[in-house]
Amino acid sequence: MSFEILDHTADVKIKFYGSNIEQLLSSFTEAWVNLTSFILKDPISKKYEDKIEFNDQTDMLYRFASLFIEQLEGENFYINRLLSASMPAPGVLSFQLVGYCFSEVTGYSNIPKAPTYHEIYFDIGKGYGQIIMDL
Protein backbone atom coordinates (compact mmCIF):
# COMPACT_ATOMS: atom_id res chain seq x y z
CA MET A 1 0.00 0.00 0.00
CA SER A 2 1.18 3.50 -0.54
CA PHE A 3 0.10 7.00 0.26
CA GLU A 4 1.34 10.57 0.55
CA ILE A 5 0.28 13.19 3.07
CA LEU A 6 0.80 16.73 1.80
CA ASP A 7 0.28 20.08 3.53
CA HIS A 8 -2.54 21.99 1.91
CA THR A 9 -3.08 25.49 3.37
CA ALA A 10 -4.86 24.84 6.71
CA ASP A 11 -5.80 21.35 5.59
CA VAL A 12 -4.05 18.17 4.57
CA LYS A 13 -4.20 16.38 1.22
CA ILE A 14 -4.03 12.60 1.23
CA LYS A 15 -3.02 10.83 -1.99
CA PHE A 16 -3.29 7.06 -1.99
CA TYR A 17 -2.70 4.24 -4.44
CA GLY A 18 -3.73 0.64 -5.02
CA SER A 19 -4.63 -1.77 -7.80
CA ASN A 20 -8.17 -2.53 -6.56
CA ILE A 21 -10.86 -1.17 -4.23
CA GLU A 22 -9.50 -2.99 -1.17
CA GLN A 23 -5.91 -1.81 -1.70
CA LEU A 24 -7.04 1.78 -2.36
CA LEU A 25 -9.15 1.94 0.81
CA SER A 26 -6.43 0.18 2.84
CA SER A 27 -3.97 2.84 1.67
CA PHE A 28 -6.42 5.56 2.73
CA THR A 29 -6.82 3.87 6.12
CA GLU A 30 -3.02 3.65 6.57
CA ALA A 31 -2.74 7.34 5.70
CA TRP A 32 -5.45 8.12 8.31
CA VAL A 33 -3.49 6.22 10.98
CA ASN A 34 -0.24 7.92 9.93
CA LEU A 35 -1.89 11.35 10.02
CA THR A 36 -3.60 10.97 13.38
CA SER A 37 -1.96 10.38 16.71
CA PHE A 38 -4.04 9.56 19.77
CA ILE A 39 -3.49 8.41 23.33
CA LEU A 40 -6.64 6.45 24.12
CA LYS A 41 -7.88 5.78 27.63
CA ASP A 42 -9.27 2.28 28.23
CA PRO A 43 -9.07 1.08 24.59
CA ILE A 44 -11.02 -2.05 23.65
CA SER A 45 -10.56 -3.68 20.24
CA LYS A 46 -13.68 -3.62 18.08
CA LYS A 47 -14.73 -4.79 14.62
CA TYR A 48 -17.10 -2.65 12.56
CA GLU A 49 -18.99 -3.87 9.50
CA ASP A 50 -21.25 -1.75 7.30
CA LYS A 51 -22.35 -0.81 3.79
CA ILE A 52 -22.36 2.58 2.10
CA GLU A 53 -24.61 3.46 -0.81
CA PHE A 54 -23.09 5.96 -3.21
CA ASN A 55 -23.73 7.76 -6.51
CA ASP A 56 -20.22 7.65 -8.01
CA GLN A 57 -16.65 6.85 -6.96
CA THR A 58 -16.01 10.35 -5.62
CA ASP A 59 -19.16 10.17 -3.49
CA MET A 60 -18.02 6.76 -2.19
CA LEU A 61 -14.66 8.16 -1.07
CA TYR A 62 -16.32 11.16 0.61
CA ARG A 63 -18.77 8.94 2.51
CA PHE A 64 -16.03 6.46 3.48
CA ALA A 65 -13.74 9.25 4.79
CA SER A 66 -16.68 10.85 6.65
CA LEU A 67 -17.30 7.56 8.43
CA PHE A 68 -13.86 7.73 10.09
CA ILE A 69 -14.67 11.11 11.62
CA GLU A 70 -18.27 10.18 12.54
CA GLN A 71 -17.09 7.05 14.36
CA LEU A 72 -14.33 8.94 16.17
CA GLU A 73 -16.47 11.87 17.29
CA GLY A 74 -19.82 10.14 17.80
CA GLU A 75 -18.92 6.64 18.94
CA ASN A 76 -15.43 7.00 20.47
CA PHE A 77 -14.25 4.47 17.89
CA TYR A 78 -10.82 5.01 16.34
CA ILE A 79 -10.51 3.06 13.07
CA ASN A 80 -7.01 1.82 12.39
CA ARG A 81 -7.29 -0.97 9.81
CA LEU A 82 -9.41 -2.12 6.88
CA LEU A 83 -10.14 -5.85 6.95
CA SER A 84 -12.05 -6.08 3.69
CA ALA A 85 -13.87 -4.02 1.07
CA SER A 86 -15.96 -5.00 -1.92
CA MET A 87 -18.72 -3.69 -4.15
CA PRO A 88 -21.41 -6.41 -4.09
CA ALA A 89 -23.72 -4.35 -6.33
CA PRO A 90 -23.49 -1.12 -8.32
CA GLY A 91 -23.53 1.84 -5.95
CA VAL A 92 -22.83 -0.24 -2.82
CA LEU A 93 -19.57 -0.51 -0.85
CA SER A 94 -19.42 -3.26 1.75
CA PHE A 95 -16.53 -3.21 4.23
CA GLN A 96 -15.11 -4.40 7.55
CA LEU A 97 -12.92 -2.19 9.73
CA VAL A 98 -11.21 -2.68 13.06
CA GLY A 99 -10.06 -0.22 15.66
CA TYR A 100 -10.48 0.73 19.29
CA CYS A 101 -13.39 1.93 21.40
CA PHE A 102 -12.17 4.15 24.21
CA SER A 103 -13.48 6.15 27.14
CA GLU A 104 -11.62 9.34 26.21
CA VAL A 105 -8.70 10.72 24.24
CA THR A 106 -6.01 11.95 26.60
CA GLY A 107 -3.64 13.28 23.96
CA TYR A 108 -3.96 13.97 20.29
CA SER A 109 -2.70 15.79 17.23
CA ASN A 110 -3.93 16.34 13.68
CA ILE A 111 -7.55 15.38 14.15
CA PRO A 112 -9.33 15.79 10.81
CA LYS A 113 -12.67 17.55 11.18
CA ALA A 114 -14.23 16.72 7.81
CA PRO A 115 -13.44 15.58 4.29
CA THR A 116 -13.95 18.12 1.53
CA TYR A 117 -15.04 17.87 -2.10
CA HIS A 118 -12.25 20.31 -3.06
CA GLU A 119 -9.84 18.45 -5.38
CA ILE A 120 -11.41 15.09 -4.46
CA TYR A 121 -10.61 12.32 -6.91
CA PHE A 122 -11.12 8.56 -6.86
CA ASP A 123 -10.69 6.15 -9.75
CA ILE A 124 -10.46 2.43 -9.05
CA GLY A 125 -9.41 1.70 -12.64
CA LYS A 126 -6.48 4.12 -12.45
CA GLY A 127 -5.52 2.95 -8.93
CA TYR A 128 -5.46 6.44 -7.48
CA GLY A 129 -7.42 8.61 -5.08
CA GLN A 130 -6.97 11.86 -3.22
CA ILE A 131 -8.96 13.80 -0.68
CA ILE A 132 -8.43 16.96 1.32
CA MET A 133 -9.31 16.78 5.01
CA ASP A 134 -10.06 19.87 7.11
CA LEU A 135 -7.91 20.02 10.22
The CA distance from 83 to 95, in Å, is 7
Terminal C-alpha separation, the chain: 24
Q: What is the pTM of this model?
A: 0.90
Per-residue pLDDT of the chain (135 residues; tens, 9 = 90+): 599 988 877 788 999 999 999 999 999 999 999 888 777 888 899 999 999 999 999 999 999 999 999 998 889 899 999 999 999 999 999 999 999 998 877 766 667 889 999 999 999 999 999 999 998
Domain-wise residue ranges, the chain = 2-134
Q: What is the mean pLDDT of the chain?
A: 91
pLDDT recorded at residue 125: 94
CATH class of 2-134: alpha beta
pLDDT recorded at residue 108: 67
User: Are 98 and 46 spatial neighbours (Cβ–Cβ below 8 Å)?
Assistant: yes
Distances in Å between the Cα of 16 and the Cα atoms of 23, 32, 39, 48 are 9, 11, 25, 22
pLDDT recorded at residue 109: 63
